[in-house]
Amino acid sequence: MTTLQGTPNPEAPNPQLPIVQKLRIRYAKRGRLRFTSHRDFARAFERAVRRAGIPIAFSSGFTPHPKISYANASPTGAASEAEYLEIGMTRACDADEVRGLLDSALPPGLDIVDVVVAKPGALADRLQGSAWQIALPGVAVDHARSAVDGFLAADEVLIERMMKRGLRTLDCRAAVLRLVARSDDASAGPCAILDVVVRHDTPSIRPDDVLAGLRSSGGLELEQTPIATRLAQGPLDTDEGTVGDPLAFDRDAP
């Protein structure tokens, strides 16, 4: 996550207004709009900012672009209740009002959950881990539990992932701080739910990686397409295996 620069370069073409306030925004990707890629979301968000008339800051130069920085976007196809971004404003605004304006300018399914005025400290530093929920339709909970036991018993679970520079082998076990299987009581048929807490390493371990690890180490067999939802991102309590609210500091600081 790049940090927003507060002072525009006065020498550049198209000098712009300076940033006087930074807002931190939590948003959700729900339902069918979980298929928006990060780039799709970025375009939709920029347009929503313009429609809502939010006084966002722009970079100067020949192609001015709005001051928005994104953190740890979830993979395309995964739903999320906890995505974060930061915007620079040329005029101080009420955070709740901005939340309402942006949310109504975005299509339903891309929803603004929370907006706070940024306090000192980098947001990226507080996004230490994620809590995921992975629904496995058609999978009996006992089967899922035995796969989880196999996974957790291993010190290292190697998987392969296609990266920019080709196929790479990585360990998906070390980053997993918590992994529990339970049954989905709301589902009509068998459906296991995995609750996963992962530490944000580089490269970050994603739900697909955990599933690949469960397949190789625990013999997990999938029946249908799993659906992953990120429930939280924030500071990690490594003892408890829980994820806190990264905006708590901004909200609570004097």
Partner 1 sequence: MPVESLFPRLEPLLPSVGKPIQYVGGELNATNKDWDAAEVRWALMYPDAYEVGLPNQGVQILYEVLNERDWILAERTYAVFADMEKVMRDNDIPQFTVDAHRPVRAFDLMGISFSTELGYTNFLTAIDLAGMPLHAVDRGDDDPIVIAGGHSAFNPEPIADFIDAAVLGDGEEIVLAISAVVREWKAEGRPGGRDEVLLRLAKSGGVYVPKFYDVTYLPDGRIQRVVPNRPGVPWRIAKHTLMDLDAWPYPKNPLVPLAETVHERFSVEIFRGCTRGCRFCQAGMITRPVRERSIEGIGAMVQNGLDKTGFEEVGLLSLSSADHTEIGEVAKQLGDRYEGSNTSLSLPSTRVDAFNITLANEFSRNGRRSGLTFAPEGGSDRLRKVINKMVSEDDIIATVAAAYSHGWRQVKLYFMCGLPTETDDDVMQIGELAKRIIQTGREVSGRHDIRCTVSIGGFVPKPHTPFQWASQLDHETTDARLQKLRDAVRADKKYGKAIGFRYHDGKPGTIEGLLSRGDRRVGRVIEAVWRDGGRFDGWSEHFSYDRWAGKAEEALADEPVDLDWYTVREREYAEVLPWDHLDAGLDRDWLWEDWQDAIDPDGALEVEDCRWTPCFDCGVCPQMDTEIQIGPTGKNLLPLTVV
Q: Are 37 and 158 in contact (CB under 8 A)?
A: no
Alpha-carbon distance of 110 to 33, in angstroms, equals: 7
Nearest-CA neighbor of 192 among 156, 157, 238, 148? 148
* Shortest CB 231 distance to partner 1, Å: 19
Interaction between residue 51 and partner 1 (CB under 8 A) = yes
From 1-9, 59-67, 111-119, 123-131, span contacting partner 1 (CB under 8 A): 59-67
Interaction between residue 190 and partner 1 (CB under 8 A) = no
Q: Which of 3, 5, 9, 37 touches partner 1 (CB under 8 A)?
A: 37
Residue with Cβ nearer partner 1 (137 or 235): 137
Interaction between residue 77 and partner 1 (CB under 8 A) = yes
Bond preceding residue 15 cis, omega within 30 of 0: no
Interaction between residue 91 and partner 1 (CB under 8 A) = no
Interaction between residue 232 and partner 1 (CB under 8 A) = no
Q: Are 230 and 130 in contact (CB under 8 A)?
A: yes
Interaction between residue 49 and partner 1 (CB under 8 A) = yes
Interaction between residue 98 and partner 1 (CB under 8 A) = no
Residue with Cβ nearer partner 1 (63 or 202): 63
- What phi and psi, each to the nearest 5 degrees, are found at residue 126? -90, -10
**CA R_g for the chain:** 20
Alpha-carbon distance of 22 to 218, in angstroms, equals: 45
From 56-64, 92-100, 127-135, 153-161, span contacting partner 1 (CB under 8 A): 56-64
Alpha-carbon distance of 152 to 34, in angstroms, equals: 29
Interaction between residue 64 and partner 1 (CB under 8 A) = yes
Residue with Cβ nearer partner 1 (64 or 190): 64
**Which positions ≥6 away from 34 have C-beta within 8 Å?**
77, 78, 79, 80, 109
| Residues that bind partner 1 in the complex, under the rule CB under 8 A | 13-14, 32-33, 35-37, 39-41, 43-44, 46-51, 53, 58, 61-64, 66, 76-77, 105, 107-109, 137, 224-225
